[in-house]
Amino acid sequence: MTRSARTRLMTLSLYAVFLALVVIFVLLANWEAIKDNFFLTEGFTGNWQDMVFTGAKNTILYTIISFIGGFVLAVILVLMKLAPIAPFRWLATAYIELFRGLPALVVILFMGFGVPIAFGWRPPGGTVGAGLVALMLVAGAYMAETLRAGIEAVPKGQTEAARSLGMNAPWTMASIVMPQALRIVIPPLTNELVILLKDTSLLFVIGLAASQKELTTLARDFMSSGPSAGTATSLTFAALLYLAITLPLTRLVAWMESKQKRSR
Amino acid sequence: MSEMHPSLDLDESAPAIQVRDLHKSYGDNEVLTGIDFHVDKGQVVCVIGPSGSGKSTLLRCVNRLEEPTSGQILVEGIDITDPDTELDQVRTRIGMVFQQFNLFPHMTVLRNLTIAQQRAKGRGRKEAEQIARENLLKVGLADKEAAYPAHLSGGQQQRVAIARALSMNPDMMLFDEPTSALDPELVGDVLDVMKKLAHEGMTMMVVTHEMGFAREVGDKLVFMDGGVIVEEGDPVEVLTNPQHKRTQTFLSKVL
Ligand SMILES: Nc1ncnc2c1ncn2[C@@H]1O[C@H](COP(=O)(O)OP(=O)(O)OP(=O)(O)O)[C@@H](O)[C@H]1O
Ligand SMILES: [Mg+2]
């Protein structure tokens, strides 16, 4: 057999294996049960508006709030890391290591239950406020590391050129280094936005009031109440809504990264 | 002209640059081992020497991009090694041009030329833009003010970098191998701009491998090797009749 014939045979048999797997799955799956459990469309029609206009809306709102808060925190942490005074650098490093080392769920539980009891202090906004503060604290730590990498990726010659023109250190940071660093970190920051969006589902554990429920909490409710109770249909719908937001974002990141690679 | 700072006490009779017993070490590696030299006002001093001899380090000490280990550097009579000296203010008087251009890639050519005028000299936008345009005209790039650096050739980028430095109205210019990163056919344009500057009486300190430039416009040629100045003098004299063995060896390799 020639080389190309062997390659062709190999490709064909891989297709055959794939087809066989699909056929086996289709034949063995209990389509009736799958449909009833995940796609019970009858009766669900009453819930979808809540899912979109309360659940998805809150999920997006919480993502944006904690992203902005986390970003501001990250900028502060990065400036502390670059500070000439060592204790500031230690503090920022300790913070970043701590919050990157803890599961987000633990931080949320701490803010939701531990802190109000131990310190008698409740973050503004009640339960959901506590959860959002927790998400910000965690996101800030990750974004600080991303930002630092971005700042370090700006060539040293940029700082030297600005300083040699007499610009002071703060101006050099603000108008020369930061704008370039931000451009570099837009793709990784968008990735963090996606992670944050998924992490808002963790707020499920702190008991949100009806109007504050995000997508996962609401989907869980509709698994045990309402017309599609007893099935996972609401969860399927929630999953589709998550994907409708996250997939375009991850595609966007891939596109931006390939563009950055080409322009280099 | 609206300057942000009170003017410095300039010593009019002092040389533009005066370096006294300058030492610079990186850890255990002593890169400059006692440099003494000066650049007079209006002089063009060219610095040559083998790679690693400390030329860039010396140049970068003059505007304190590098911190000297010991010794004294006076710029127009002001001791820039004194911790009380307002460094940012002195730096606005010293233009610097780098081998890699170091233009700001996220800004247009015009913005590259105005940003430091506004941030470091406190000039208004209108005034800064007018000065920027004059200097773009001078380097022959008046039509490129709206372009971004990435869309310019190396030679054009370096001329923009020169115009950027000139826009601060510096009293002197430092050049660190300004043509070494350029394709050979683009070197001429940059050298022409530098020659024009020299003829206008700009004080210049130029690290270069362009012996033709040194011969033609240099008032003084400095040969460095191993962190010291081995020989200095009239460029034609040094190039045609080097006194030291190390100078002879170096020149026989590059000429
Ligand atoms: N930031 C630094 N840290 C440690 N060593 C350095 C640093 N910068 C320069 N050096 C060392 O100092 C010596 C002199 O470097 P310098 O760049 O001044 O040489 P140069 O004469 O400009 O050489 P070239 O012609 O290659 O540019 C070299 O041995 C170099 O390795
Ligand atoms: Mg050098």
Q: Please indicate whether residue B6 or residue A34 has the higher confidence score (pLDDT).
A: A34
Tokens of B12: 């009019």
Strands (E), B142-235: 172-176, 203-207, 220-225, 228-233
Q: What integer is the mean pLDDT of A55-60?
A: 94
**DSSP code, position B69:** S
Q: According to the model, what pLDDT value does residue B4 have?
A: 46
Residues of B with CB under 8 A from a CB of A: 63, 65, 88-92, 94-96, 98, 100, 102-106, 115-116, 119-121, 150, 161, 164-165, 168
Q: According to the model, what pLDDT value does residue A118 have?
A: 76
CA B176 remoteness from chain centre? 6
Q: Is A216 exposed, middle or buried (0-12, 13-18, 19+ CB in 10 A)?
A: buried
Tokens of A263: 């322009």
Answer yes or no: is the C-beta of B62 below 6 A from any ligand 1 atom: no
Q: According to the model, what pLDDT value does residue B9 have?
A: 60
Pairing of strands B70-75, B17-26: antiparallel
Instruction: Using most ligand atoms within 8 A of CB, pick from B53, B62, B174, B207 the residue to mutate for ligand 1.
Output: B53
Q: How confident is the model at residue A264 (pLDDT cuts 50, 70, 90)?
A: low
Q: How confident is the model at residue A14 (pLDDT cuts 50, 70, 90)?
A: very high
Q: According to the model, what pLDDT value does residue A253 have?
A: 87
Inter-residue contact B250 to B223 (CB < 8 Å): yes
Which pLDDT tens digit goes with each residue over A155-212?
999 999 999 999 999 999 999 999 999 999 999 999 999 999 999 999 999 888 888 9
ipTM for the whole complex: 0.92
| Ranges under pLDDT 50 in chain B | 1-6
| Minimal-distance CA residue of chain A relative to B118 | A167
Q: How confident is the model at residue A32 (pLDDT cuts 50, 70, 90)?
A: confident
Q: According to the model, what pLDDT value does residue A45 have?
A: 64
In degrees and rounded to multiples of 5, residue B101 shows phi and psi of 65, -50
Report chain A residues whose CB lies below 8 A from the CB of B135: none
Distances (CA, A) of A183 to A172, A179, B106, B145: 16, 6, 9, 23
Q: B97: CA distance to ligand 2 center in Å?
A: 12
Answer yes or no: is the C-beta of B51 below 6 A from any ligand 1 atom: yes
Answer yes or no: is the C-beta of B67 below 6 A from any ligand 1 atom: no
Please tell me the distance in Å from B42's CA to the nearest CA on chain A: 20
Answer yes or no: is the C-beta of B31 below 6 A from any ligand 1 atom: yes
Neighbours of B116 (CB within 10 A): 29
CA-CA distance, A200 to A211, in Å (whole number)? Answer: 15
Which pLDDT tens digit goes with each residue over A62-91?
999 999 999 999 999 999 998 889 999 999
CA-CA distance, A182 to A187, in Å (whole number)? Answer: 10
Q: According to the model, what pLDDT value does residue B10 have?
A: 62
Inter-residue contact B103 to B160 (CB < 8 Å): yes
Please tell me the distance in Å from B60's CA to the nearest CA on chain A: 9
Q: Is the pLDDT of residue A262 over 80?
A: no
- Mutation to test the B interface, candidates A165, A173, A178, most B Cβ within 10 Å: A165
Flag whether the pTM goes above 0.95: no
Answer yes or no: is the C-beta of B57 below 6 A from any ligand 1 atom: yes
Q: According to the model, what pLDDT value does residue A210 have?
A: 87
Q: According to the model, what pLDDT value does residue B5 have?
A: 47
| Minimal-distance CA residue of chain B relative to A165 | B92
Interface contact A166-B120, CB threshold 8 A: yes
Residue whose Cα lies nearest atom 7 of ligand 1: it is B26
Print burial letters for A128-140: b (CB count within 10 Å at least 16), e (below 16): bbbbbbbbbbbbb
Please tell me the distance in Å from B115's CA to the nearest CA on chain A: 9
DSSP B165-178: HHTT--SEEEEEST
Helix/strand/coil (H/E/C) assignment for every residue in A239-262: HHHHHHHHHHHHHHHHHHHHHHHH
CA B154 remoteness from chain centre? 18
